[in-house]
């Protein structure tokens, strides 16, 4: 399994001969190394409906034929845009050809703002657990720290966790370090920081707070192989 980080919350996963793209916010993301027209994923995985996570899903999915997996209301909305979607909900798991996917809770909000300013409610925000090739990967999505992260950590042996540290809209470094203490991953990667002025962070501050997990501050475009 290969995992690469591409700025903000974008994670690309190559597993079982397939490519998964999580939260592909490319256009408008000054930190990413990706170009929309070059993306040919088999699946797009979304954590919630905010524009900086849905990003360029519609364009990429229409061009590549990728199936979009998302929280149910968001999947319905994107299906109305002509995409091939699979809706899921908190606590639900499903076996796909690439492996098993389970949606966890996240404490945040979730809506999509259209070009004319209309705000579309897109259901509950979520985190994602991926089980593939004998490995477990957790993408927390946008969230605050919450007590049930202890349950996620107790019931899963997480190889890699991607957690937001940007503060303001999500947990900051201190709360993210607390989250890591409950999740107990082998490796943790900080995400969702530096993209906009309100979420500027020095990831080393997060690293210095984390105990009992390897902190991998992935540069944009960097790859991690499990």
Q: pLDDT for 111-122, tens place per residue?
A: 999 999 999 999
- State the pTM of this model: 0.98
173 three-class SS: helix
Q: Strands 126-132 and 119-121, how do they pair?
A: unpaired
pLDDT band at 80 (very low <50, low <70, confident <90, very high): very high
Task: Return d(Cα 72, Cα 225) in angstroms, integer.
Answer: 31
Q: Which pLDDT does position 144 carry in this prediction?
A: 98
Q: pLDDT for 137-160, tens place per residue?
A: 999 999 999 999 999 999 999 999
pLDDT band at 70 (very low <50, low <70, confident <90, very high): very high
4 three-class SS: strand
Would 226 be classed as within a structural domain?
no
**Domain total of the chain:** 1
| Buried-state track 97-111, b at ≥16 Cβ within 10 A, e below 16 | ebbebbbbbbbbebb
Look-up of token digits 């919450």: 146
187 three-class SS: strand
Q: pLDDT for 21-69, tens place per residue?
A: 999 999 999 999 999 999 999 999 999 999 999 999 999 999 999 999 9
Q: Return the half-sphere exposure (C-beta side, CA atoms, 13 A cut-off) of residue 156.
A: 28
Q: Assign residue 134 the CATH number of its domain.
A: 3.60.15.10
Q: pLDDT for 160-209, tens place per residue?
A: 999 999 999 999 999 999 999 999 999 999 999 999 999 999 999 999 99
Would 194 be classed as within a structural domain?
yes
Would 38 be classed as within a structural domain?
yes
Q: Which pLDDT does position 2 carry in this prediction?
A: 98
Would 140 be classed as within a structural domain?
yes
Main-chain dihedrals φ then ψ at residue 102, nearest 5 degrees = -135, 135
Residue 185 CB neighbour total at 10 angstroms? 26
Would 26 be classed as within a structural domain?
yes
Would 32 be classed as within a structural domain?
yes
Q: Are residues 171 and 199 in contact, defined by beta-carbon separation less than 8 angstroms?
A: no
Query: Could you tell me the residue range of the domain that residue 127 belongs to?
Result: 2-219
Would 225 be classed as within a structural domain?
no
Which segments of the chain are extended strands (E)?
A: 2-5, 11-15, 18-22, 43-45, 67-71, 85-88, 93-96, 99-105, 111-113, 119-121, 126-132, 135-139, 160-164, 187-191, 214-215, 223-225
Packing angle, helices 72-80 and 57-64, rounded to 10: 60
Average pLDDT over residues 6-13: 98
Q: Which pLDDT does position 163 carry in this prediction?
A: 98
């Amino acid at each position: 399994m290969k995992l690469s980080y591409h700025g903000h919350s974008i994670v690309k996963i190559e597993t079982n001969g397939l490519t998964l793209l999580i939260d592909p916010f490319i256009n408008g993301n000054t930190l990413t190394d990706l170009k929309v027209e070059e993306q040919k994923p088999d699946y797009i995985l979304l954590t919630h409906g905010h524009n900086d996570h849905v990003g360029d899903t519609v364009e990429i999915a229409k061009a590549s034929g990728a199936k979009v997996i998302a929280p149910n209301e968001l999947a319905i909305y994107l299906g109305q845009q002509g995409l091939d979607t699979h809706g899921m909900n908190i606590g639900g798991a499903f076996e796909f050809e690439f492996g098993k996917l389970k949606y966890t809770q996240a404490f945040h909000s979730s809506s999509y703002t259209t070009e004319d300013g209309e705000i579309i409610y897109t259901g509950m925000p979520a985190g994602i657990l991926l089980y593939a090739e004998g490995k477990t990967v957790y993408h927390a999505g946008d969230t605050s720290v919450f007590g049930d992260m202890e349950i996620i950590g107790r019931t899963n042996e997480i190889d890699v966790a991607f957690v937001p540290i940007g503060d303001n809209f999500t947990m900051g470094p201190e709360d993210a370090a607390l989250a890591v203490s409950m999740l107990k991953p082998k490796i943790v990667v900080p995400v969702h920081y530096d993209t906009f002025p309100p979420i500027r962070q020095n990831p080393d501050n997060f690293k210095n707070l984390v105990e009992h997990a390897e902190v991998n501050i992935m540069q944009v475009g960097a790859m991690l192989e499990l």
